[in-house]
Amino acid sequence: MNVFRTGVLLSALVALFGVAGYALGGQGGMVIALLVAVAMNFFAYWNSDSIVLRMHGAREIQRADLPWLHDMVAQLAQRAELPMPRVYIIEQDQPNAFATGRNPENAAVAATTGLLRQLSHEEVAGVMAHELAHVKNRDTLIMTVTATVAGALSMLANFAMFSSMFGGSSDRNSPLGGIGILLMAILAPLAATLVQLAISRAREYDADALGAKICGRPLWLASALDRLDGASKRIDNHVAEANPATAHLFIVNPLHAHSVDSLFATHPPMRERIARLRAMAGGGDSGRGPWG
Residues with a catalytic annotation lie at 131
Q: At what angle do helices 67-79 and 121-136 cross, to 10 degrees?
A: 40
CA nearest neighbour of 72 among 87, 57, 56: 87
